[in-house]
């Protein structure tokens, strides 16, 4: 049977029936043999469907290879230490926008980016959804040391739904009797069933125990555990809205809590947004094949690979931009990495206006640190400053490249002078 369908090609019945029929065996016999082989290797998890049937998973080669890669790179991501805060902040921005848009936020990329970078008050439900997801992603980083509890789940949901629900009373609480969750369309088929409200407290307690590693007794790889949490919460739909957003932030929390810092640099919702139908189909395949979570795990593994590939492309692009800008910044080693990054951006986009709050959010630093960065550049005459209302606004001068070159020459000359006869006797 391994020759008919290798274990690393994890096919659903819908896909089996589209393969060329093997000689001497029917599709049904082929499928039956595959199911028996999978059942013998299947690992059960505490999640149950409405019929009390258990969910479980297998570990095909493709999934095992992804787990191995994440074990090697997930703890120490390939990100320059000087750029960690900047890249993490940029990914949180992209993830917040994409996750909110997946949930139907009517806010385009440009407007949402301006909203998050400026820190202004959101206008309308779409912008509030974006701002809420962004805040929840920051909370997930802060909560990585906390064990998951139903109370923490409710706190996360309240953060994600603040001022966005028709019924404000539904923020930060589980569904009540008679309330429904939004219907999901999956590959043309509609999910109309979810656990009744009376079962939710017990089911969420079980989810939390699983998240904290208290169940099942058998070992579950940490990344698989995080993926199953994503599926579990989205499947049970414990809230009247924002189940998908909560599930995606919960996945990030689980990855960070288990030491996979790489997750902080992967914009998974950006990948999901490019193919939402495949995301929905991954749920459908599980539910139509005896609760086999392997289909969802394989889909999520592919999402992680694509997001990691996108990260590497972005890091390469940033390195090329920095290398090109370094020629202009040569001799200005006293600028810190945030200032150098801003100078690179200003050389590429001289029309940009910089504000203290935007610089603060872009680099994940305090307001005072951001203020010091910008006013130091203004003191060096590498930025100009003005005011719009009560807000300081910084701009790059038209001759920034020439100023950088002149500043670099002055610094070199000063070092050469200090290195010669003018060096104080006590320091020679």
Dist. CA 241–CA 238, nearest whole Å:
9
Half-sphere exposure of 166 (CA within 13 A, CB side): 3
In this structure, are 296 and 413 located in the same domain? Answer: no
Q: For residue 139, what are its two tokens?
A: 């909370």
What Cα–Cα distance (Å) separates residue 239 from each residue in 20, 108, 160, 172, 427?
44, 26, 11, 8, 69
Distance of CA 264 to the CA centre of its chain: 6
* This prediction's pTM: 0.82
Per-position pLDDT tens, the chain of length 428? 444 444 447 999 998 888 887 777 888 998 999 999 999 999 999 999 999 999 999 999 999 999 999 999 888 888 877 678 878 888 999 999 999 999 999 899 999 998 998 888 999 999 999 999 999 999 999 999 999 999 999 999 999 999 999 999 999 999 999 898 866 544 445 455 789 999 999 999 999 999 999 999 999 999 999 999 999 999 999 999 999 999 999 999 999 999 999 999 999 999 999 999 999 999 999 999 999 999 999 999 999 999 999 999 988 887 777 677 667 776 677 888 899 889 888 887 888 899 999 999 888 899 999 999 999 999 999 999 999 899 999 999 988 888 887 877 776 676 666 554 433 333 23
Q: Considering the domain boundaries, does residue 237 fall inside one?
A: yes
Question: Nearest 10 degrees: CA dihedral of 318, 319, 322, 324?
Answer: -110
Q: Which two tokens stand for residue 226?
A: 């995080």
Residue with tokens 């997001």: 307
CB-neighbour burial class of residue 235 (10 A; exposed 0-12, middle 13-18, buried 19+) = buried
Per-position DSSP letters for 307-352, written without gaps between them: HHHHHHHHHHHHHHHHHHHHHHHTT-TTS-HHHHHHHHHHHH-TT-
Please indicate, yes or no, whether residues 107 and 252 belong to a single structural domain of this protein.
yes
Residue 177's CB: how many other CB atoms inside 10 A?
7
Choose one of 261, 295, 312: the last residue of a domain: 312
2 lies in some domain: yes
Q: Name the DSSP class of 129.
A: H
Q: How far apart are CA 279 and CA 282, in angstroms?
A: 5
Looking at the structure, do residues 88 and 120 belong to the same domain, yes or no? yes
Residue 332 lies in a domain: no
In a domain, 336, yes or no: no
Give the E-state strand segments of 30-90 in sequence order: 43-48, 54-57
Same-domain status, 102 and 25? no
Q: What angle do helix axes 84-102 and 109-118 make, rounded to 10 degrees? A: 130
Determine the Cα–Cα distance for residues 409 and 397; give it in Å rounded to an integer. 18
3-state DSSP call for residue 184?
strand
Same domain for 303 and 373, yes or no, is no
Smallest CA-to-CA distance from 398 within 382, 376, 386, 409 is with 382
Tokens 């950006």 belong to residue:
270
State the Cα–Cα distance between residues 343 and 25, nearest whole angstrom: 67
Domain ranges, residue 174:
43-312
H helix intervals, 59-172:
61-73, 84-102, 109-118, 124-142, 150-161
| Together in a domain, 221 and 119 | yes
- Provide, for the chain, the percentages of residues in helix, strand and coil under a 3-state DSSP scheme, each rounded to the nearest 5: 60, 5, 30
Q: Note if the bond before 352 is cis, omega within 30 degrees.
A: no
Domain match, 169 and 258 both: yes
Domain termination residue (choose one: 312, 329, 359):
312
pLDDT at position 419: 52
Identify the CATH number of the domain in which residue 154 sits.
1.10.3290.10
Q: How many domains does the chain have?
A: 3
Q: Do the domain assignments include residue 208?
A: yes
In a domain, 232, yes or no: yes
Residues 212, 265: one domain? yes
Residue 385: its H or E element: strand 384-388
Q: Where are the beta strands (DSSP E) in 145-272?
A: 184-186, 189-191
Helix (DSSP H) and strand (DSSP E) numbers for the chain? 17, 7
């Amino acid at each position: 049977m391994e020759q008919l369908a290798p274990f690393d090609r994890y096919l659903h019945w819908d896909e089996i029936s589209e393969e060329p029929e093997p000689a001497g065996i029917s599709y049904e016999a082929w499928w039956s043999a595959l199911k028996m082989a999978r059942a013998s290797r299947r690992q059960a998890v505490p999640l149950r469907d409405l019929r009390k049937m258990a969910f479980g998973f297998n570990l095909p080669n493709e999934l095992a290879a992804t787990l191995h890669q994440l074990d090697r790179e997930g703890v120490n991501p390939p990100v320059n230490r000087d750029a960690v805060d900047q890249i993490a902040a940029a990914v949180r921005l992209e993830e917040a926008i994409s996750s909110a848009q997946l949930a139907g936020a009517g806010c385009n990329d440009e407007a949402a980016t301006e909203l998050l970078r400026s820190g202004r008050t959101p206008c309308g439900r779409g912008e509030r959804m974006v701002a809420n997801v962004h805040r929840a992603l920051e909370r997930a980083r802060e909560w990585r040391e906390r064990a998951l509890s139903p109370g923490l789940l409710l706190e996360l949901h309240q953060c994600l739904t603040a001022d966005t629900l028709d019924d404000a009373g539904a923020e930060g609480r589980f569904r009540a009797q008679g309330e429904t969750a939004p219907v999901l369309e999956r590959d043309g088929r509609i999910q109309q069933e979810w656990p009744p409200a009376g079962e939710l407290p017990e089911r969420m307690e079980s989810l939390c125990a699983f998240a904290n590693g208290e169940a099942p007794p058998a070992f579950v790889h940490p990344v698989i555990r995080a993926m199953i949490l994503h599926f579990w919460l989205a499947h049970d739909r414990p809230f009247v809205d924002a189940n998908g957003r909560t599930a995606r932030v919960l996945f990030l929390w689980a990855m960070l809590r288990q030491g996979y810092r790489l997750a902080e640099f992967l914009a998974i919702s950006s990948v999901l947004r490019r193919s939402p139908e495949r995301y929905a189909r991954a749920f459908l395949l599980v539910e139509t094949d005896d609760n086999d979570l392997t289909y969802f795990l394989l889909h999520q593994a592919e999402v992680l690979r694509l997001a990691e590939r996108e990260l590497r492309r972005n890091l390469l692009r940033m390195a090329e931009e920095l290398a090109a800008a370094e020629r202009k910044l040569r001799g200005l080693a006293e600028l810190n990495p945030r200032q150098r990054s801003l100078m690179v951006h200003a050389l590429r986009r001289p029309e940009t206006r910089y504000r203290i709050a935007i610089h603060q959010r872009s680099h994940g630093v305090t307001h005072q640190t951001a203020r010091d960065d910008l006013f130091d550049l203004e003191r060096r005459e590498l930025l100009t400053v003005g005011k719009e209302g009560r807000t300081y606004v910084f701009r790059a001068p038209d001759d920034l490249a020439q100023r950088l070159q002149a500043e670099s020459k002055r610094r070199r000359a000063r070092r050469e002078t200090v290195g010669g006869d003018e060096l104080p006797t006590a320091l020679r």
